[in-house]
Amino acid sequence: QKEVEQDPGPLSVPEGAIVSLNCTYSNSAFQYFMWYRQYSRKGPELLMYTYSSGNKEDGRFTAQVDKSSKYISLFIRDSQPSDSATYLCAPYNQGGKLIFGQGTELSVKP
Amino acid sequence: EPEVTQTPSHQVTQMGQEVILRCVPISNHLYFYWYRQILGQKVEFLVSFYNNEISEKSEIFDDQFSVERPDGSNFTLKIRSTKLEDSAMYFCASSQSPVREQYFGPGTRLTVT
């Protein structure tokens, strides 16, 4: 079983839609969870950082962690064409070593 | 806004040559990392570094790789004898602590011919 799994997509939605991006992980020791956005051939850009279970909201983005089911989600409200990118989830433990998923490619059509 | 910078943006080298990739982490950060991403694949952890020592390294980070903080601002990754399979994007990241957010640089694209 892979440590972190994401549906690679591509996921195509119309502008203004609510987007749900999901990630599962296998290591119950993970306590910290980050979401990054990556444009083609660019560095990962930090979107959200959460600790343990629960929700965290930042503008149009909401991160949700369910440690009991080892499931993490990122919701994007009112999606924009500029949100078109690959979204990477990265859980980790106290050592700081990020374990990345494959990434989900999102395309928001005007 | 502080950011991680990396040079060069693109490096082309011949197999067997040594390369040094450079990074300037965010100034008040103490923890530094290198990751790589082979085209079309996921981002993979290479090494973490704190207090002038390697904290953790992956299986990829073999004897051909080394890291150094030669002064108060730079953090470098050296590959002693490059192989074709070392061709990838190399990302530097930094954080204030190992449990805080990691900020990534724009990457160096290494092409080994």
**pLDDT tier at A1, thresholds 50, 70, 90:** confident
Q: Tokens standing for A106? A: 């999102």
Average pLDDT, chain A: 93
Distance CA A73, CA A90 (A): 11
Q: Taking the mean position of all CA atoms in its chain, how far away is CA B15?
A: 19
Residue B23, amino acid? C
For tokens 């082309």, the residue is B12
Q: Which residues pair with A41 in a beta bridge?
A: none
How many contacts does A have with B, using Cβ atoms within 8 A? 65
The beta-carbon contacts of A77-80 under 8 Å, at least 24 apart in sequence, are A77/A18, A78/A16, A78/A18, A79/A13, A79/A15, A79/A16, A79/A17, A79/A18, A79/A19, A79/A106, A79/A108, A80/A15, A80/A108
Please state the φ and ψ torsions of residue B26, each to the nearest 5 degrees: -65, 140
Determine the pLDDT at residue B2. Answer: 83
Closest residue in chain A to residue B10, using alpha carbons only: A41
Indicate the residue of A32, A43, A97 with minimum beta-carbon distance to B56.
A97
pLDDT at position B1 over 80: no
Give the residue from B62, B108, B77, B81 showing the smallest Cα distance to B17.
B81
B chain contacts of residue A87, beta-carbon cutoff 8 Å: none
Average pLDDT, chain B: 95
**Total number of residues shown for chain B:** 113
- The pLDDT tens digits of the residues spanning B20-55 come to 999 999 999 999 999 999 999 999 999 999 999 999
Closest residue in chain B to residue A34, using alpha carbons only: B101
> pLDDT exceeding 70 applies to what percent of chain B?
100
Phi-psi category of residue B92: left, alpha or beta, with phi > 0 → left and psi -120 to 50 → alpha: beta
A chain contacts of residue B24, beta-carbon cutoff 8 Å: none
Determine the pLDDT at residue A89. Answer: 96
Indicate the residue of A31, A46, A102 with minimum beta-carbon distance to B101.
A46
Which of 13-52 (B) contact A at CB < 8 A? 31, 33, 35, 41-45, 48
Q: Taking the mean position of all CA atoms in its chain, how far away is CA B45?
A: 9
Q: Residue A30, Cβ neighbours under 10 Å: how many? A: 21
- The pLDDT tens digits of the residues spanning A61-73 come to 999 999 999 999 9
Determine the pLDDT at residue B67. Answer: 97
